Chains A and B, each alone.
Chain A
Amino acid sequence: MKAILKRYRAFIITAIALGILTIINSQIGLKALSISAYSFKEMLLVIPPVFILLGLLDVWVPRETMIKYMGEGSGLKGIVLAILLGSAAAGPLYGAFPVAAVFMKKGVKFSNILIFIGAWSTTKIPMFLFEMSSLGAKFAFTRLLVDIPGIIIIAYILSKLISKDEIEKIYKQAENINK
Chain B
Amino acid sequence: MDTYILYGITILFLAFSIFKDKKKTKMSLKKAWKAFENILPQFLVVLLLVGVLLAVLNTEVISKIIGSGSGWLGVMLAAVVGAITLIPGFVAFPMASMLLQGGAGYMQIGAFVSTLMMVGVVTMPVEMKYFGKKLTILRNVIAFIFSFVVAYIIELVVGGI
Which A positions have Cβ atoms within 8 angstroms of B?
7-8, 10-11, 14-15, 18, 21, 28-29, 31-37, 39-40, 42-43, 45-56, 58-60, 90-94, 97-98, 100-102, 114, 117-118, 121-122, 124-127, 130-131, 133-136, 138-139, 142-143, 146-147, 150, 154, 157-158, 161-162, 166, 169-170, 173-174, 177-179
Please name the 7 residue pairs, one residue from A and one from B, whose CB atoms are nearest each other, closest first: A36-B51, A55-B32, A126-B2, A55-B28, A49-B10, A32-B55, A134-B93
B146 close to A150 (CB less than 8 A)? yes
Give the distance in Å from the alpha carbon of A52 to the alpha carbon of B29 in the complex: 6
Give the dominant DSSP class at A's interface. helix
Residues of B within 8 A of A (CB): 1-3, 5-7, 9-10, 13-14, 17, 24-25, 27-36, 38-39, 41-52, 54-56, 86, 88-90, 93-94, 96-97, 100, 106, 109-110, 113-114, 117-118, 120, 123, 125-127, 129-132, 134-135, 138-139, 142-143, 146, 149-150, 153-154, 157-158
Whether the pair B32, A166 counts as a contact (CB closer than 8 A) is no
Note all chain A residues with C-beta closer than 8 A to B50. 35-36, 39
What A residues does B131 contact at CB under 8 A? 97, 100, 170
Q: A7-B41, A15-B48, A122-B118 are in contact. Are A98 and B35 (CB under 8 A)?
A: yes
The interface residues of chain B lying within 8 Å CB-to-CB of A43 are: 43, 47
From B14, B114, B149, contact of A56 by CB (8 A) = B14
